[in-house]
Chain A
């Protein structure tokens, strides 16, 4: 059974940093792209970032490019989202997703809430 467990959310002040982690199990992690998608309170889904199976190629939404970094540890079946220079508009539930190929989200974690507020 595929499981994706996100951790690392919480309260941060504007300008601060957070690192989200997503522990994956139940599939051959190294063969799949992984992604992060967020949802602001009461709003729709917004793609954040994706990473290729090897980690060699990354993709970012314009809203986070230059501030967020996606990475993965294939030896530990974990994908990360490093978030710097956080803004109030980054407040959202952040979901980790397993891609079927790339940019198609076959399975989702339960999400972790990030709140950016002073």
Chain B
């Protein structure tokens, strides 16, 4: 089955840039979606189809994907960005949704 690998944690100072990686076999050929989940809240879509932003998501959030790695970038990080971030794809091999294990962002 398809596997997405995310580092468990990322730490950055306010105003810096946070990068979240999501590794998967030939992930560059798939559509990658990213979700933000703050403590006690439901997840929220922040990037879909690799690099598109839903309405209401700040331009500080951007995404890219190529080869075996997809990346979510959050620039000018704010304290309010502290959350878990999950990548996700649809695996057409078995018609299953696959989530990465999630990365916890700590704002120092």
Contact = CB atoms under 8 A, between A and B. Distances in A.
Given A59-B95, A61-B96, A109 B43 contact: no
B54 interface: yes
Question: Which label, helix, strand, loop or mixed, suits the secondary structure of the B interface?
Answer: strand
Interface of B: 1, 31, 33, 35, 37, 42-45, 48-49, 54, 84, 86, 88, 90, 95-102
Interface residues of A, number: 22
Contacts of B84: 44
B63 to A, nearest CB: 13
Interface of A: 35, 37, 44-47, 50, 59, 61-62, 95, 100, 102-111
Contacts of B54: 106
Contact of A47 (B37, B42, B45, B97): B97
A23 to B, nearest CB: 15
